[in-house]
Amino acid sequence: MRESIRLELPAAVTALPTLRMLLGGLAVRLDFSLEELEDLSLAATELLRAAGDSERLESWSVEMAVVDDQLHVVAGPYRSPDLRHRLEGAADGAACLDLCRLLSSTVDSFAVDDDDEGFSVTMVKGRRRA
């Protein structure tokens, strides 16, 4: 069963607590650990701030969905080639603390999906412990 919340937020740091609280509420239901929640929150906020910087957005659009025992966070649509480049990571494979590495380190997986309006980013985080 898929249950989702769609959120439209002003693209401002002051709006991020709302996002984090909602993520927290869903994470409680999935019995996430504190670190799993913090990782997901960090990934979501860094993605939104990067998107806000790249696209000069006035608002952030985010959908949070509980899918089985995983939490999916979908952000977008975006159009900026710069943001897409950031999500792809360093072309030469060098180790740098870019958005790609940050997301890879904090969520189980993330994907860039093209659609008619541009592309969106889906991040998936699940409960790790048995």
Partner 1 sequence: MTPRDDRRPSDPLDLGSLPGQPRRFRDEDDDEETTPVAPAFTGRGRDESEKLDKYLLRRYHLHGDRKAREQLITMYLPLVRSLARRYASRGEHFDDLVQVGAIGLIKAIDRFDLTRGVELTTYATPNIVGEIKRYFRDKGWSVRVPRGLQELNIRLNKVIDELVPKLQRSPTINELAEAASATPEEVLEALETSQAYNSISLQASPNSESGDEDAGLIDYLGGPEAAYETMEDRTTLAPGFAKLDKRERYILHLRFFEGLTQSQIAERVGISQMHVSRLIRRSLEKLREEIGDLDRPEVSRVSGEQ
Q: What is the dihedral of CA 30, 31, 33, 37, to 10 degrees?
A: 40
CB of 22 to partner 1, least distance (A): 10
As given in the structure block, the two tokens for residue 8 are 């439209």
Contact letters (x/-) for partner 1, 55-84, by CB under 8 A?
------------------------------
Please say which residue, 36 or 61, places its beta carbon nearer to partner 1: 36
The answer to whether residues 22 and 65 touch, using CB atoms and an 8 Å cutoff, is no
Exactly one of 1, 56, 58, 97 binds partner 1 (CB under 8 A); that residue is 97
Q: Is 76 exposed, middle or buried (0-12, 13-18, 19+ CB in 10 A)?
A: buried
Terminal alpha carbon distance of the chain? 21
Gap between the Cα atoms of 61 and 41, Å rounded: 15
1-60 residues near partner 1, rule: CB under 8 A: 17, 20-21, 24-25, 27-28, 31-38, 42, 46, 49-50, 53
Give the number of residues in contact with partner 1, rule: CB under 8 A.
33
Q: Applying CB under 8 A, which residues contact partner 1?
A: 17, 20-21, 24-25, 27-28, 31-38, 42, 46, 49-50, 53, 85-86, 90, 94-99, 101-102, 105, 129
